[in-house]
Amino acid sequence: MTIRAGLVGLGKIARDQHLPAIARTDGIELVAVASRNAQGEGLNNYPDLDAMLAGEADMDAVILCQPPQVRYQAARQAILAGKHVFLEKPPGATVSEVEALIALAGAQGVTLYASWHSRHAAAVAQAKAWIASRAIRRIDIQWREDVRHWHPGQPWIWEAGGFGVFDPGINALSILTEIVPEPVTMLSARLEVPENKDAPIGAALSMATASGAAVEALFDWRQTGPQTWDIAIETANGSLLLSEGGNTLRLDGEVQIKAPDEEYPAMYRRFVGLVADRAIDADIAPLRLVADAFLCGRHCPTTAFDD
């Protein structure tokens, strides 16, 4: 069976990643788009989710790519309509929203997929296997990128619930919670919030594994030039460096894997399998760490930032 899917929110991430990934994935077909400001070529177009659900009675799944502040209500509406739901990351504005969606999807017997695309980077699985048999001593994360490149003209990212620098930073936390074989706890956080914004432009996090290894993370949205997405791990038996968002792996300085970005096609293959089984995959561990950072964070005002 081919999944007939509708996509809500035809912005940059949808055009750059979702549309080409769906086109390359067997078992799923995009039939409709709901967007206030854009049109999908060769597709049935609707102004909003209400209209799309009314006009596509035989649609099987809904892919949600709107800002996280409105994702919960849209997901709830789609689930109650009997549709399988694919959530772009982060899966919701709060932990409790996602927990409620998990319970609702289970009760309705439909798939809910909280997609963490960085977990599907080429080197993540091998990094996880390498770490599993080693004692971690320290983890250092550097996640720096240019907000003007990745989120041009998107003011919602700076509003409450928009995550600010945690929108990319949660990708690092999704890898961290995937490859480390024990819980990670938040100890303290320093959040840089521009005086004219409601969400941070920078964050410095201190965390620890359950066995006591230090985990330090620095997120910054003011990077220019090459972007930095690195996770360095020191163990009792060697060192590991994941770079390029998890697509390059070095062990003791030697390159083991260097591969192109194929994260979104991998996620759609995963979604097709989940729908076949009517299964739920909605890990909230990365989102919980972000919530903990806001809960225990010290807000440090910084200069105004014009996006």
Could you give the residue numbers annotated as active site? 89
Spell 72-108 as b/e; 16+ CB within 10 A means b: bebbbbbbebebbbbbbbbbbbbbebbeebbebbeeb
* SS3 of residue 136 by DSSP: strand
Q: Which phi and psi (to 5°) does residue 147 adopt?
A: -60, -30
Q: Is the dihedral of CA 57, 63, 69, 73 positive or negative?
A: positive
User: Which pair of tokens denotes residue 166?
Assistant: 């945690």
161: left (phi over 0), alpha (psi -120 to 50) or beta: left
* Cα–Cα dist 138/116, whole Å: 24
The 3-class SS string of 5-16 reads EEEECCCHHHHH
**229 backbone dihedrals φ, ψ, rounded to 5°:** -135, 85
Q: How many CB atoms lie within 10 A of CB 238?
A: 12
Q: Rounded CA gap, 188 and 175, in Å?
A: 20
CB 110 within 8 A of CB 278: yes
Q: What residues have CB less than 8 Å from 72, skipping those under 6 apart?
A: 92, 93, 94, 97, 100, 101
